[in-house]
């Protein structure tokens, strides 16, 4: 294998640039050319490609976002669109791909493998941490720390005004961010999609806190934990609260910013491992880190198997909220 492509797709995640850097430099060390594909699958279809050398990826390890840009592509969802993308890859002499992204990115990559025989190795880059086959995904640690800093600031205001704050974090189908942020931030309640949320039970927890003398509380809500998110949950229990309550939606602030050391190291390790796997003949797999070791998981398994949330931590958060 003499020439490979690398691209980022779907939602951006802090650490994607560190992964791109690692791909380019590991490939250079192995004597393999790298072509950067801009704007994900949309750019692949349009042939938006640029050669990447070791100097092209200098001074990006600390940057959030992705220098290759990212986009959604409705056309790639069709067989005709994927055939166009494959034709562009062939024309550019690309013999294999490193796909950096999440669930949607890997589903698209799997189609290229199955329909056109294009070798692809995935690198898990998503703040949601919802991919099976890796303990952590690139961007998760940064997102947690970004959200935690915001919650620490909000807690100061909550205490000063004796209010309850319902804080919504990202996580439409997975509650990993909510769980880690809630536990680290001392939240009284953590609502995640993996567990049914009973508004009455949430109200009882907050009422019990008030009876114990607490004048302010934090409720962390993953966006997909309850219909309407944090706003919907507050509306469902508003009449039971004896103190003022406010909602803060952290939104896309969780995606941006310079990646933490942990994300930079994870991205560097997995980006390099992806190149080694691809050049070594692997395809249709995702590189991940499991118990400190690099592991390969079939892409199909990575996107179809559900990654379980740590329910022991969820129970611990309930104990520590007393």
Q: 128 catalytic, yes or no? A: yes
Q: How many Å separate Cα 301 from the centre of its chain?
A: 17
Q: Are strands 164-169 and 293-298 parallel, antiparallel or unpaired?
A: unpaired
128 vs 134: CA distance, rounded Å: 12
Q: Looking at the structure, do residues 234 and 109 belong to the same domain, yes or no?
A: no
Please report the pLDDT score of residue 322 as a whole number. 58
Residues 167 and 203 occupy one common structural domain = yes
How does pLDDT run across 157-171, given as a tens digit for each residue? 998 998 899 999 999
Query: Pick the catalytic residue: 12, 128, 130, 141?
Result: 128
Asked whether residue 103 falls in the same domain as residue 125, the answer is yes
Same domain, 246 and 280: no
292 and 202 both lie in a single domain: no
Task: Tell whether 104 is in a known binding site.
Answer: yes
Average pLDDT of 228-257? 91
155 assigned to a ligand binding site: yes
**Token output for 198:** 């009973």
In a domain, 316, yes or no: no
Identify whether residues 185 and 265 lie together within a single domain. no
**How far, in Å, are 240, 285, 288, 303 from residue 33 at the CA level?**
63, 21, 23, 29
Is residue 225 located within the same domain as residue 280? no
- Would the pLDDT of 90 be above 70? yes
pTM of the model: 0.94
The verdict on residue 310 lying in a domain is no
Which residues partner with 3 through β-bridges?
33
| Alpha-carbon span 69 to 65, nearest angstrom | 8
Edge-first strand order for the sheet with 293-298 is 49-52, 33-37, 3-8, 96-101, 120-124, 285-290, 293-298
Annotated binding-site residue? 21: yes
pLDDT tens figures, 166-207: 999 999 999 999 999 999 999 999 999 999 999 999 999 998
Domains contained in the chain, number: 2
pLDDT band at 209 (very low <50, low <70, confident <90, very high): confident
Smallest CA-to-CA distance from 220 within 240, 243, 242, 195 is with: 195
Claim to verify: residue 98 and residue 245 sit in the same structural domain: no
Each residue's pLDDT tens digit, 27-71: 999 999 999 999 999 999 999 999 999 999 999 999 999 999 999
Q: What is the model's pLDDT at position 195?
A: 93
Query: Is residue 185 a part of any domain in this protein?
Result: yes
Residue 220's domain is classified under what CATH number?
Answer: 3.40.50.460
Clarify whether residues 161 and 290 are in a common domain. Answer: no
Q: What is the pLDDT at residue 51?
A: 98
Q: Is residue 81 part of a domain?
A: yes
264 is in an annotated binding site: no
Q: Is the pLDDT of residue 216 over 70?
A: yes
Examine the domain organization and report whether 164 and 198 are in the same domain.
Answer: yes
Say yes or no: 217 and 289 in one domain.
no
In whole angstroms, give the CA distance from residue 167 to residue 163. Answer: 12
Q: What pLDDT shows up at residue 319?
A: 78
Secondary structure (DSSP) of 35-96: EEETTHHHHHHHT-EEEE-GGGGTT-TT--S-TT-----SGGGSHHHHHHHHHHHHHTT--E
The parent domain of residue 266 ranges over 3-139+259-304
Same domain, 264 and 154: no
């Amino acid at each position: 294998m003499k020439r490979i492509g690398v691209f980022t797709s779907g939602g951006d995640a802090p650490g994607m640039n560190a992964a791109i850097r690692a791909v380019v430099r590991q490939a250079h060390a192995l004597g393999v050319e790298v072509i950067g594909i801009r704007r994900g699958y949309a750019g692949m279809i349009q042939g938006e490609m640029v050669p990447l050398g070791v100097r092209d990826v200098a001074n990006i390890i600390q940057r959030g976002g992705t220098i290759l840009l990212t986009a959604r592509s409705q056309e790639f969802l069709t067989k005709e669109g994927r055939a166009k993308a494959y034709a562009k890859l062939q024309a550019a002499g690309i013999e294999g791909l490193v796909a950096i992204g999440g669930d949607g990115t890997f589903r698209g990559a799997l189609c290229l493998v199955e329909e056109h025989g294009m070798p692809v190795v995935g690198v898990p880059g998503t703040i949601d941490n919802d991919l099976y086959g890796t303990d952590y995904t690139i961007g998760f640690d940064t997102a947690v720390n970004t959200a935690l800093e915001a919650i620490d600031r909000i807690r100061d205001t909550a205490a000063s005004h004796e209010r309850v704050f319902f804080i919504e974090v990202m996580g439409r189908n997975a509650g990993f961010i909510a769980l880690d942020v809630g536990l680290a931030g001392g939240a009284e309640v953590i609502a995640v999609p993996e567990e049914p949320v009973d508004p009455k039970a949430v109200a009882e927890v907050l009422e019990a806190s008030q009876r114990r003398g607490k004048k302010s509380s934090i409720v962390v809500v993953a966006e997909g934990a309850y219909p309407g998110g944090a706003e919907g949950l507050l509306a469902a229990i508003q009449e039971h609260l004896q103190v003022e309550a406010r909602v803060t939606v952290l939104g896309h602030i969780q995606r941006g910013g310079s990646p933490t050391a942990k994300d930079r190291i994870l991205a560097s390790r997995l980006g390099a491992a992806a190149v080694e796997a691809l050049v070594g003949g692997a395809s249709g797999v995702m590189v991940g880190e499991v118990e400190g070791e690099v592991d390969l998981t079939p892409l199909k398994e990575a996107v179809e198997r559900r990654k379980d949330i740590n329910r022991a931590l969820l129970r611990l958060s309930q104990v520590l909220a007393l």
